[in-house]
């Protein structure tokens, strides 16, 4: 085999290991909740929509606060670390990244809506 092939295999292995580590860290940082479980707990928690303002205004879960993931680094202190946090975005990717960030900042009670707002069938509010 050529050196280029060994390098390519090494890169692929490294990417797979990195993806596995990220998935493990995410699983430790946030609890994925079905819509039913999400509904059971979000009224007693801080409900945060991490989508951008235009997405939020088009429709959001009733009672949610909008702290876009693009502003989270500046605004995370608006979220109390001593209360459960329920996060969601459109698909789950941004809320997962937000949960990882909040975990690094010491937040421990992090939950996210499995599948994101895209699959939400509960009450919504829109402007």
Q: What is the mean pLDDT of residues 62-80?
A: 96
- Per-residue burial over 6-33, b if 16 or more Cβ lie within 10 Å, else e, is eeeeeeeeeeeeeeeeeeeebeebbbbb
The answer to whether residue 104 sits within a structural domain is yes
Does 24 participate in catalysis according to the annotation? no
> Pick the catalytic residue: 29, 48, 79, 89?
89
CA distance 80 to 100: 16
CATH number at residue 62: 3.40.250.10
The answer to whether residue 81 sits within a structural domain is yes
Fill in the DSSP letter of residue 84.
-
Q: Check: CB of residue 92 under 8 Å from CB of residue 73.
A: no
Q: What is the mean pLDDT of residues 43-63?
A: 95
Asked whether residue 25 carries a pLDDT value surpassing 70, the answer given is no
Q: What is the mean pLDDT of residues 5-14?
A: 84
The total of structural domains in the chain comes to: 1
At residue 108, the pLDDT reads 92
Backbone angles phi, psi at 49, to 5 degrees: -95, 115
At residue 13, the pLDDT reads 83
Q: List strands edge to edge, sheet with 85-88.
A: 31-33, 110-113, 85-88, 46-49, 65-66
Structural domain range at position 63: 30-125
The answer to whether residue 2 sits within a structural domain is no
Q: What is the mean pLDDT of residues 48-73?
A: 96
- Neighbouring C-beta atoms of residue 48, cutoff 10 Å: 26
Per-residue confidence band for 54, with pLDDT thresholds at 50, 70 and 90: very high
At residue 8, the pLDDT reads 86
Q: What is the mean pLDDT of residues 87-116?
A: 93
């Amino acid at each position: 085999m050529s050196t280029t092939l060994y390098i390519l295999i090494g890169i692929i292995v490294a990417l797979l290991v990195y993806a596995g580590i990220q998935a493990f860290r995410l699983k430790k940082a946030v609890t994925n909740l079905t819509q039913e479980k999400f509904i059971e707990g979000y009224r007693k928690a801080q409900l945060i929509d991490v989508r951008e303002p235009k997405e939020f205004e088009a429709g959001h879960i009733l009672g949610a606060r909008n702290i876009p993931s693009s502003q989270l680094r500046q605004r995370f202190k608006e979220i109390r670390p001593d209360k459960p946090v329920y996060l969601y975005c459109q698909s789950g990717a941004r809320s997962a990244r937000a949960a990882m960030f909040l975990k690094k900042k010491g937040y421990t009670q992090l939950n996210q809506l499995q599948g994101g707002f895209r699959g939400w069938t509960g009450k919504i509010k829109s402007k």
